[in-house]
Chain A
Amino acid sequence: MENNTASPKNILKNPPVQIILFGIVLCLIQVLSMNGVISSSFAFALGNTLIYAVMAIGFCLLLGYSGLASLGTAGFIGIGTYAVYYIMQENGYPLFLAFLVTLGISLGLGVVVGFISLRIEGIYLAILTLGLSEIIRNVLMAIKPTIKLELANSRLFGIQMNDRVAYFLIVIIYCLLMWVTSNLINSPTGRAMVAMKNSTSAAQAMGISLMKFRLMAFVIATVYAALGGLLYMVYVRNLTTSSSLLLTLTTSLNILGAVIIGGSKSLWGTFVGTFIIYGIQSMFLSRIPFFVKNPAFITMVTGVLIVVVVMFFPGGIAQIASNISASFKKRKLAGAAAAAEEKKGEE
């Protein structure tokens, strides 16, 4: 692996350090908003964006690394939101139990979808997961069309979870998942997933079990999405399933879009992508008087942005960043290869 010499530049290149720094910055924004330096609606919108970013991390692993397309994210989010409602609001149990239940259900669901993915592939799989998501949404809607979590029932270790406390919880979970996922990506598991994405036959010949890694990819994506739903419910505290877009195809597509725009193989890209789709609207554009008067323009701007990024930067925003550094690196590599060829010729 990389030799970790202690020079400050190398420490900054270390993923855990980057993630911790990012987490500190995110927390600082909330602290500043508590002191009135930044408006509280800005911080709230950022928290909201982070929730979607949590879902996007899992989707990044699924699409970018395992090459499996899913449109079921919305349904999985629903699991988390309703688990919170039934466990915390209806029965008054603590958040931790809701967390365990969410984990359990989404794990099971992930396994089911994983098995489906062994039989059906590509766009067909995407549409099928869309069907599954619709089933979940319809079931949830039939059970209870509107759910609301009272602030008094929202507690973690005895602390009342108002949206400021919930914000810190979101940041912690986000950073933790970023770290775990980046570790997985840079380990045999991540490489096995990329192998599976590129060539199933080569992967199998190299001893990679398709079943194991497809299940794993779907379980991770499902659990992250459900966790996102859980965080959403704790943070926003109410959801009208019948009229809200949260559990519909729109959310699934937005998460997919966020991952593609950010660069499907870049974890930091997923944040940038989510920020473009969810963050820019609520945090910046909604402050400009023109857009406040015509909110429809915001939707249009997002749409145009999506089309432009996908058309001209197929690798997403991350590609623009890596293109710049790669152009230097490639020159170096080409030089090394040429030197080696020359040497061979001399012999």
Chain B
Amino acid sequence: MASVNYNKVAKLRYRSRFYDYMVEEEGDKSCEAAAEQARKKLDEAVKALPSTGITIPDGIVLDVQDLCMYFGGVKAVDGLSFQVKEGEIFGLIGPNGAGKTTVFNCITQFYKPTSGTLHFKNKFGQVIDLNKERVHDVIIHGIVRTFQNVEVIREVSILDNLLIAGHRQYTSSLVTQAFHLPLLKKEEKVVRDRALKVLDFMGLTPYKDFPAVGLPYGVLKKIEIARTLMCDPQLIILDEPAAGLNDNETAELADLIQKIRDEYKCTILLVEHDMGLVMDICETICCISFGKRLAIGTPEEVQADKNVQTAYLGVSEEE
């Protein structure tokens, strides 16, 4: 099974990065040999990865072809195709019930698509078939998502929320964890440092010890985005990031999304109802309705499209 290999490589990658961090940031000389060894092992493992035999054009990170998702007789997504370029902000728009979130759920494997291909260029430079991955393994390839109705872990603090997002970065075995052996303590410190950095980047540091319950909606949305940053993402999928935010917060969010893209060198795919936001920050927009693609192109092209105008007539009056 493909994902087993990737699991191993991902683990090696995190271990190598952990030792690098110990050497560079902590100045721990004793880890140098281990760091060297870990790097070597990682290189070998990456080289040993079997070729998937799938190709996608240069500069494309996600290739969706003929995606279909049927629920019984309901065709939520029906033959949708689009390509997301590396490093761009890609917007997916469409009227209510157009199937936008379903597309996201298919990409992240919460739903197994009825048919169609989902090809993704992962962190190891390989092109993989996402349909073969399990839902919790999508993250090691670099795909992270947020949720439409904010799924923050309410019981724990904001910092712990980020540590949960860093779950896959721990390489300690269960025994190491059960007896709190030194490796776990070191790893814990490294991940915690990274979490603090992310919190700082998101401007959430003052909230770090707050329990997630009872915080304002805007903050919760930011926590979700911060969580995606913890997983060093290749592709961030944002499901309606601006829903429930006021105008100021939305403007702030637009800046933030662009800042994330530049800082973390990742691609962003977002679903949004706020047309202002989408037109402002997206380089490519895909408009869908009833699971089918209406138009794709730059914001200007999509705005000028006749089909899109028809589908959005009710909304465009309000704009």
A and B touch in the complex (CB under 8 A): yes
Asked if A184 is at the interface (CB within 8 A of a chain B CB), the reply is yes
Binds B, one of A42-50, A192-200, A223-231: A192-200
- Cα of A340 to Cα of B172 in the assembled complex, Å: 36
Do residues A207 and B210 form an inter-chain contact, with CB atoms below 8 A? no
Residue of B nearest to A191 (CB): B164
Residue of A nearest to B144 (CB): A205
Do residues B155 and A192 form an inter-chain contact, with CB atoms below 8 A? no
Mark B294-313 against chain A: 1 for CB-CB distance below 8 A, else 0.
00000000000000000000
Do residues B164 and A189 form an inter-chain contact, with CB atoms below 8 A? no
Residues of A within 8 A of B209 (CB): 329, 333
Do residues A180 and B156 form an inter-chain contact, with CB atoms below 8 A? no
Asked if A337 is at the interface (CB within 8 A of a chain B CB), the reply is yes
Asked if A143 is at the interface (CB within 8 A of a chain B CB), the reply is no
Asked if A240 is at the interface (CB within 8 A of a chain B CB), the reply is no
Asked if A201 is at the interface (CB within 8 A of a chain B CB), the reply is yes
Residues of A within 8 A of B179 (CB): 180, 183
Given contacts A204-B110, A333-B210, contact A188 B153 (CB under 8 A): no
Q: Which of A77-112 contact B (CB under 8 A)?
A: none
- Cα of A340 to Cα of B138 in the assembled complex, Å: 37
Residue of A nearest to B224 (CB): A202
Binds A, one of B43-51, B62-70, B183-191, B284-292: B183-191
- Cα of A209 to Cα of B109 in the assembled complex, Å: 13
Do residues A187 and B206 form an inter-chain contact, with CB atoms below 8 A? no
Residue among A189, A194, A199, A333 making CB contact with B174, cutoff 8 Å: A189
Do residues B135 and A191 form an inter-chain contact, with CB atoms below 8 A? no
Residue among B151, B155, B168 making CB contact with A201, cutoff 8 Å: B151
Asked if A210 is at the interface (CB within 8 A of a chain B CB), the reply is yes
Whole-angstrom distance between the Cβ of B143 and the nearest chain A Cβ: 9
Whole-angstrom distance between the Cβ of A192 and the nearest chain B Cβ: 6
Mark A206-238 against chain B: 1 for CB-CB distance below 8 A, else 0.
111110000010000000000000000000000
Residue of B nearest to A202 (CB): B151
Mark A17-29 against chain B: 1 for CB-CB distance below 8 A, else 0.
0000000000000
Do residues B207 and A337 form an inter-chain contact, with CB atoms below 8 A? yes
Do residues B206 and A189 form an inter-chain contact, with CB atoms below 8 A? no
Whole-angstrom distance between the Cβ of A99 and the nearest chain B Cβ: 17
- Cα of A184 to Cα of B164 in the assembled complex, Å: 14
Residues of A within 8 A of B163 (CB): 188, 191
Q: Is the interface of B mostly helix, strand, loop or mixed?
A: helix
Residue of A nearest to B178 (CB): A180
Do residues B140 and A201 form an inter-chain contact, with CB atoms below 8 A? no
Whole-angstrom distance between the Cβ of B70 and the nearest chain A Cβ: 21
Asked if A151 is at the interface (CB within 8 A of a chain B CB), the reply is no
Given contacts A201-B147, A209-B136, A340-B206, contact A183 B177 (CB under 8 A): yes
- Cα of A230 to Cα of B167 in the assembled complex, Å: 35
Asked if A1 is at the interface (CB within 8 A of a chain B CB), the reply is yes
Asked if B9 is at the interface (CB within 8 A of a chain A CB), the reply is no
Given contacts A183-B177, A184-B178, contact A206 B165 (CB under 8 A): yes
- Cα of A206 to Cα of B137 in the assembled complex, Å: 9
Residues of A within 8 A of B206 (CB): 336-337, 339-341
Residues of A within 8 A of B184 (CB): 187
Interface centre among A1, A202, A204, A340 (most CB of B within 10 A): A202
Do residues A188 and B147 form an inter-chain contact, with CB atoms below 8 A? no
Asked if B259 is at the interface (CB within 8 A of a chain A CB), the reply is no
Interface centre among A191, A197, A340, A341 (most CB of B within 10 A): A191
Whole-angstrom distance between the Cβ of A17 and the nearest chain B Cβ: 13
Residue among A187, A206, A336 making CB contact with B177, cutoff 8 Å: A187
Interface centre among B139, B179, B180, B185 (most CB of A within 10 A): B180
Do residues B231 and A206 form an inter-chain contact, with CB atoms below 8 A? yes
Residue of A nearest to B139 (CB): A207
Do residues A207 and B136 form an inter-chain contact, with CB atoms below 8 A? yes
Interchain Cβ contacts under 8 Å between A and B, 14 examples: A1-B185, A188-B172, A194-B153, A195-B167, A199-B153, A202-B151, A206-B168, A207-B139, A207-B167, A329-B209, A336-B206, A339-B206, A340-B205, A340-B206
Excluding A1-B192, A188-B170, 16 further A-B contacts by CB distance (< 8 Å) are A180-B178, A187-B188, A189-B174, A191-B160, A191-B163, A192-B164, A192-B167, A198-B153, A199-B151, A199-B153, A202-B147, A205-B139, A206-B227, A208-B136, A216-B174, A339-B206
- A-side residues, CB < 8 A to B, are 1, 180, 183-184, 186-189, 191-192, 194-195, 197-199, 201-210, 216, 265, 329, 333, 336-337, 339-341
